[in-house]
Amino acid sequence: MFYDLFDDFFGGFDKDLHLVFGTPKAQYNDEMCPVCKTRLSEVAKTGKAGCSKCYTVFRPQLEYMLGRIHSNTKHAGKVSESAGERIKVKKELEKLQKDLQTAIAKQDFEQAAVLRDQIKALHDKEVG
């Protein structure tokens, strides 16, 4: 049953690979992984890579395919609350660091001092 659902979802990708992977038919070639000898058409047909190197070899095509399926290639799913809080703090620190660099570049040293203090407070909160 699971296979049928998988086949229904991915089935047909191997028939028109030039459309699936965004390359004109004349330019499409069925690349092969140098490590496991899995072909791109096999990955498209089964939805499974042959080895970890396949992800590197077929990266552009896989990203294109995933973008078509999911409308995005970046994971934006759920995370645990504790991990979510750490991620929020990390992103806020990154934003403040970027804003600090911008303020320094503009020679807005008063704003830079405010941002520096915010970064220090957030860093102390994270560590402490």
Count of C-beta atoms within a 10 Å radius of residue 49: 18
Q: What is the pLDDT of residue 76?
A: 66
- Per DSSP, helices labelled H in 22-80 are 40-46, 52-57, 59-70
Q: Does the reported pTM lie above 0.75?
A: no
Q: What is the pLDDT tens value at each position of the chain, 128 positions in all?
A: 344 444 444 544 545 555 555 555 545 567 899 999 999 888 888 888 899 999 999 888 888 877 777 776 676 666 666 677 778 888 899 999 999 999 999 999 999 999 999 999 988 877 66
> What pLDDT shows up at residue 8?
47
Q: Whole-angstrom Cα distance, residue 49 to residue 67?
A: 17
CA-atom Rg of the chain in angstroms: 23
Structure confidence at residue 1 (pLDDT): 39
In terms of Cβ atoms closer than 10 Å to its own Cβ (0-12, 13-18, 19+), residue 54 is buried
Q: What pLDDT was estimated at residue 2?
A: 42
Distance (Å, whole) CA 100 – CA 52 = 39
